[in-house]
Amino acid sequence: MPASWTPGGVQVLGDIRRDASLNLSALRTLADETPGNTLGLRRYILGLALVSFMAPQETFLREGCQLTLDHERPTEWQLIRYDGVRDPFVLTHADALMYACEAANGFEIGPDKIAEFDSKKCKEALKKSKDELKKSRSTSTPITEEQVG
């Protein structure tokens, strides 16, 4: 920990890692009330997630403390399949941004809706058992305005 108002800084004696995972299985649970728009919705959300993953990271921590990349150890991305097989994965921020823009163009955004948040219904939903939650997720039915409030 650095001391205030004294010369010096921080020396890292190990690694600083940033690990992140994107579970694509969760995307399959998303559904739109218009069945033809479900794939567009999933692609749109995937595009947003990829852009956030690939965005350049802020390396400035505080005055006098700037992280730098180790070019001898480049960033590693892996695609981990459901059976545990790992494959190298190459994607740039520009690629992710291009995909997200194309996905946004292919996603039909409906009219704005005004809804009121009902905390009682939210609390009821949070009280559901794991089995009830699992059953509701497996049906891939979207949450309707009536369920929200």
Same domain? For 104 and 125 the reply is: no
Same domain? For 78 and 148 the reply is: no
Same domain? For 18 and 44 the reply is: yes
Residue 149: the pLDDT is 42
Residue 35: the pLDDT is 76
Q: How far apart are CA 44 and CA 31, in angstroms?
A: 12
* Domain span at 138: 113-149
Q: What is the mean pLDDT of residues 105-114?
A: 81
Same domain? For 34 and 85 the reply is: yes
Residue 93: the pLDDT is 93
Q: What is the mean pLDDT of residues 9-26?
A: 80
Compute CA distances 86 → 39, 51, 80, 82, whole Å: 26, 22, 5, 10
Q: What is the pLDDT of residues 37-81, one digit of tens each?
A: 889 899 999 999 999 988 888 878 776 677 777 888 888 889 999
Same domain? For 93 and 78 the reply is: yes
Q: Is the pLDDT at 7 greater than 80, yes or no?
A: no
Same domain? For 91 and 143 the reply is: no
Same domain? For 31 and 101 the reply is: yes
Same domain? For 75 and 119 the reply is: no
Q: Is the pLDDT at 98 greater than 60, yes or no?
A: yes
Domain count, the chain: 2
Alpha helices in 15-92 (DSSP H): 24-27, 38-54
pLDDT category at 103 given cuts 50, 70, 90 is very high
Same domain? For 144 and 94 the reply is: no
Round the average pLDDT of the chain to a whole number and report it: 81
